[in-house]
Amino acid sequence: MKFPFLTLARRCETFYRFQQRGVLLADQRLWSSALKHSSQLCKDKSFYITTPIFYVNASPHLGHLYSAVIADCLHRWKLMQGFDSRFATGTDEHGLKIQQAAEAVGKDPLTFCTEVSERFRNLFSSCNISFTDYIRTTEQRHRQAVEHFWSVLWNKGLIYKGSYEGWYSTQDESFLMPSQVGEALDPSGKEVKVSLESGHKVEWMKEENYMFRLSIFRSRLLDWLVKNPGAVQPQRFQQAVVQWLQEDLPDLSVSRQRSRLQWGVPVPGDPEQTIYVWLDALVNYLTVVGYPEIHEQWWSTAHHVIGKDILKFHAIYWPAFLLGVGLPLPKVIHVHSHWTVEGRKMSKSLGNVVDPVEHSQMFTNDGMRYFLLRQGVPDSDCDYTHDKVIKLLNTELADSLGGLLNRCTAPALNPAQVYPAFCSQAFPRDQRGRAVAEDYQMVAAVRSLPTVVEMHYESIHVYKALEAISACVRQTNRFIQHHAPWKLDRRDSKDRRWLDAIIHVSLECLRIYGTLLQPVVPEISNRLLTRLGVQPHERSWKNLDFLQRYHGTDCPFEGRLLGLDSRLLFSRLEGPNGDKLKPKKSKKPACLK
Ligand code: MSP
């Protein structure tokens, strides 16, 4: 058994879960390497995760929320596992693009930045993005970090005064090689030069400025990628970086003339130049953890979540800068693909930009989070439509998960409103009771679910984790449907024991699903677990032992009163034109005898 996406530390932990669960590892090499490193690695419980910092030239859209939700999911997951996790997000406020956006609305840049930055902060707070630090690049602490970072590069002779002549895209704040530039028609039909990658307009520029010796880092960058096959995930993005590094890697312009760009950090010792916005922005990841004084503990555990459009900046420029100043490289760069809307790229000119605030109100915060993470595939672009959101949420959250909870906690089936007792004669391990083969398969599937989910969360294939959970929820619904507990007679002692065992098993399944879903849908999970009577301190990775009574140990939940909040877990949504989407027909539990 191999865990190709996991770092050694994670493999080590995953390995222990397998060991705990009595699963035999076929790969002896992994077994002994995990053992060797376990004591050293499992002690280190720091984790640091970041989102890109968001440009404030326009309001937040769905893609921004997506980057933040992925990072938030990983952060919550790590907290659940007992890690001391820090999670940074914020706004990227310097550069020509922002300077021009502020000018266009006649505002002073800082006032403009503050207004838009607050919009991002409010969006994230309202969508339960549980960041531990919100950084703005206009803050003093950041300016100091950038100045220090620059000075280290300068003192090491890695920056020199030179000149740049070539293409620049203000929209991407990026320098381009001639091979990256093509031709297109602008809205007025005029031929313009554009970036082949982003489609944004480019301009020819010629300027005296400071250059970073990027070219000398090519082989060290390649070496890093060869030695760390999981440094950029998914694999196809790592391959893309390796491919870029096979090509020419010229030195990089890292400043602009102050006369053109005033909105940024001045070059230390040369106020006629402003530091290039990407160098400024990337250093935010260090600022947050206290660079240059106290960054070490956190910096060595850095994980970045980024969209595919900013891969070059994070997987080439940033590691090269870090190698230059002599700091460790990020542990993993998690790359995600983009959202299109009804099959088209999201853009202001097409008028199809999805406002995440509006849509989170329409579909609920957890609804949006669930949709983005369930449908979002890191490897390829995904399409957003109202219909898809409504169908998915109604099927998986309202009907399947919500329906299951409803069934098991309905007073008709569970009149005492307790976590009932498990009866091992009714559901014996030797398979001679009333449970059928399919039920044992379900028990095995739910038992191994945490390990499966862990592997997918770790590699940010969250959709695979959610698919696995959803498949188990369907199995549990089939289990209930098959045994039709509503047909059992509570006055008969055998029937009662069997009925209670069915409910006990189902609630145990729900407890595992609720616990594992916390990083994705924190509000729904909280309601579900509270309804089951599971206390806040019983919701961590350590509490994922499933069906302890079946496995011969005590179950702390048995006999506990259920929580009182019996509202629907997730209400079915209506179509955009108010047309009700029909609920799937499910057999109603008949009255209990
Ligand atoms: N400011 C830079 C990042 C600097 S990090 C040191 C930036 N900002 S951004 O606001 O343009 O983009 C932020 C994030 O949103 C990126 O990860 C980007 O990929 C993501 N998205 C922008 N549009 C997107 C979609 N349509 N779909 C998914 N994510 C997308 O780049």
What is the 3-class SS of 539-551, one letter each residue?
Answer: CCHHHCCCCCCCC
Write down the residue that tokens 């995930």 correspond to. 233
Report the C-alpha gap between 276 and 406 in whole angstroms.
Answer: 56
Interval between CA 61 and ligand 1 midpoint (Å)? 10
Interval between CA 54 and ligand 1 midpoint (Å)? 6
301 backbone φψ class: left, alpha, beta (φ>0; ψ -120 to 50): alpha
**Which residues does ligand 1 sit against, CB inside 6 Å?**
52-55, 63-64, 66-67, 92, 281-282, 284, 306-307, 309-310, 338-339, 346
Q: Ligand 1: which atom is nearest the Cα of residue 337?
A: 28
- Residues (pLDDT < 50) of the chain are 1-43, 579-593
Pairing of strands 84-92, 46-50: parallel
Confidence at residue 197, expressed as pLDDT on a 0 to 100 scale: 86
Confidence at residue 577, expressed as pLDDT on a 0 to 100 scale: 57
**Nearest to residue 221, comparing CAs of 298, 306, 322, 153?**
322
Q: Tell me if 516 sits within 8 A of 449, measured CB to CB.
A: yes
CA distances from 176 to 52, 90, 304, 312, 529 (A): 21, 27, 24, 11, 52
Residue 239: what are its φ and ψ, rounded to 5°? Answer: -65, -40
Q: Which residues pair with 64 in a beta bridge?
A: none
Interval between CA 389 and ligand 1 midpoint (Å)? 22
* This prediction's pTM: 0.89
Q: Ligand 1: which atom is nearest the Cα of residue 307?
A: 19
Q: Which of 50, 51, 55 to mutate to test the pocket of ligand 1 (most atoms within 8 A of CB)?
A: 55
Q: Ligand 1: which atom is nearest the Cα of residue 285?
A: 6
Q: Tell me if 92 sits within 8 A of 137, measured CB to CB.
A: yes
Report the C-alpha gap between 114 and 398 in whole angstroms.
Answer: 39
| Burial (0-12, 13-18, 19+ Cβ within 10 Å), 137 | buried
Confidence at residue 576, expressed as pLDDT on a 0 to 100 scale: 59
Interval between CA 57 and ligand 1 midpoint (Å)? 12
Confidence at residue 37, expressed as pLDDT on a 0 to 100 scale: 37
Write the pLDDT tens digit of every residue in 436-492: 999 999 999 999 999 999 999 999 999 999 999 999 999 999 999 999 999 999 999
Fill in the amino acid letter for 592: L
Interval between CA 67 and ligand 1 midpoint (Å)? 7
Give the total residue count for the chain. 593
**Nearest to residue 232, comparing CAs of 299, 319, 327?**
319
Interval between CA 63 and ligand 1 midpoint (Å)? 7
Give the list of residues 6+ apart from residue 23 with CB closer than 8 angstroms, or none: 1, 448, 451
Q: Ligand 1: which atom is nearest the Cα of residue 282?
A: 6
Q: Tell me if 54 sits within 8 A of 92, measured CB to CB.
A: yes
Interval between CA 115 and ligand 1 midpoint (Å)? 19
